Amino acid sequence: MSDASLRKTATELSAEVASLLRCDSLEAAPALLGAVITVADSAGRVAIRLTEVEAYRGEKDPGSHAFRGRTARNSSMFEAGGCIYVYFTYGMHHCLNIVTGPAGVSRAVLLRGGEVVEGLEQARGRRPAARTDRDLARGPARLCAALGLDRSDDGALLGGPGSRISLTLPQQAPDAGRIRRGPRTGVAGPGGDGEAFPWRFWLDGEPTVSPYRPAVTRRRSQG
pLDDT tens digits for 182-215?
A: 999 999 999 999 999 999 999 999 999 999 998 8
**Residue 222 covered by a domain:** no
Task: Specify whether the CB–CB gap between 65 and 77 falls below 8 A.
Answer: yes
**Residue 59 covered by a domain:** yes
pTM value is 0.90
User: The CATH number of the domain where 52 resides is what?
Assistant: 3.10.300.10
Lowest mean pLDDT among 13-17, 28-32, 209-213: 13-17
Dihedral in degrees, nearest 10, Cα atoms 95, 55, 189, 92: 0
Query: What range does the domain containing 112 cover?
Result: 3-203
Supply the pLDDT for residue 90. Answer: 83
For the chain, strand residue ranges (E) read 36-41, 44-56, 84-89, 93-100, 107-118, 165-168, 179-182, 200-203
**Residue 62 covered by a domain:** yes
Q: Which residue would you say has higher pLDDT here, 222 or 196?
A: 196
Rounded mean pLDDT, 47-66:
96
Residue 209 CB-half CA count within 13 A: 23
